[in-house]
Structure 1
Amino acid sequence: MKLKEIQNLIKFVANSGASEVKLEMDDVKITIKTTSEDKVNTVVQQIPMGQMQQAAAQPAAPVQEAPASNTTTENTADDSKYITVKSPIIGTFYRKPSPDKPTFVEVGDTIKEGDVLCIIEAMKLFNEIESEVSGKIVKVLVDDTSPVEFDQPLFLVDPS
């Protein structure tokens, strides 16, 4: 099962109101649990052929959200012309492929569709997050090595 299919399944379950969904296919076992706080926990297990290996997964720690700050209408109007790149999964946000390498993108960089923007680690799997839009990075909204939630804004991109 591809990452995009898993992401779409998570969105579907989150919007459906179901509290838990389990899906088993040949070599993949997926469990998606939602809580009353509209948080979604997803467990994906790869089962090697010929072995039934059980991997225990701990749910991601909830992120403390900062209280909404008072912003001027100028900032809101300025941000509305930008495209927000959001996290497709829950995990840990990394701006670099490894600690000794440079960041994937910086503020001011021009990106095109398919460029890798960051990595999100979920259960020891490192998922490259690719841009779905072309434009210029205006703002990075998440600190390196921070936990991120599903659908959390990561970058602001100016499409012009």
Structure 2
Amino acid sequence: MAQKDDDIQKIKEIIEIMEKNGLVEVEIKHGDDKIFLKRHVPQPPAPAVAMMHRPESLVSPLNTVIPESLPATATPSAAPKQENLEEIKSPIVGTLYAKPSPDSEPYVEIGTHVEPQMVLCIIEAMKVMNEIKAENSGTIAEVLVTNGQAVEYGQVIFRIKPD
């Protein structure tokens, strides 16, 4: 019986060593004797997956009534379209910066006259700052993005009225 008590004591010591060292499995061979211990370690809960919700699902729709007294030009779709505007599109996916630094003026604004190779904005992609330059001379007619906005490949970011 003393041998059995010694064996149980040794097994308890091995279990303590496993717990102290964070071991899950231990296999010990000594001559013809072999012992294999495996303990169950509770798994921490899986990290919550961040789910992107469409804004429509987060905000209840508002019942907005537009008074009939407003002119038709108040709606964006009724805004007059200027003909012969050259579109400047984003050549890459990234974050658009309209200013060289947070406390400086934007590179261009509506009404700014631009020349070929003039920097219009910077698009950061993979920690690389890419200057977006005008191809032709003209005047900025529309700025379709804001500073710090994410832009997609091919997204129109400026419209220029050529000279």
Q: 1:139 aligns with which of 110, 126, 142?
A: 142
Larger strand fraction of residues: 1
The structure having more radius of gyration, on CA atoms, is 2
Moved over 3 A (4+): none
- The alignment status of 1:75 with 2:67, answered yes or no, reads no
Q: TM-score, normalised by structure 1?
A: 0.52
Stretches of structure 1 that go unaligned for 5 or more consecutive residues are: 1-63
When residues 70 and 130 of structure 1 are mapped into structure 2, their CA distance, relative to the original with a 3 A threshold, is closer
1:128 aligned counterpart, secondary structure: strand
Aligned residue runs from structure 1 range 82-121, under 5 A: 82-121=85-124
Q: TM-score, normalised by structure 2?
A: 0.52
1: CA distance between counterparts of 2:105 and 2:115?
A: 19
CA displacement at 1:96 relative to structure 2: 0.5
Larger helix fraction of residues: 2
**Partner residue, 1:45:** none
Q: 2:160 aligns with which of 139, 157, 160?
A: 157
1: CA distance between counterparts of 2:97 and 2:138?
A: 21
2: CA distance between counterparts of 1:86 and 1:75?
A: 21
**Partner residue, 1:126:** 129
CA RMSD of aligned residues (A): 2.1
1: CA distance between counterparts of 2:110 and 2:84?
A: 16
Matched positions, count: 91
CA displacement at 1:100 relative to structure 2: 1.7
Identity of aligned residues (%): 43
Stretches of structure 2 that go unaligned for 5 or more consecutive residues are: 1-53, 55-74
Whichever residue aligns with residue 77 of structure 2, its letter is: T
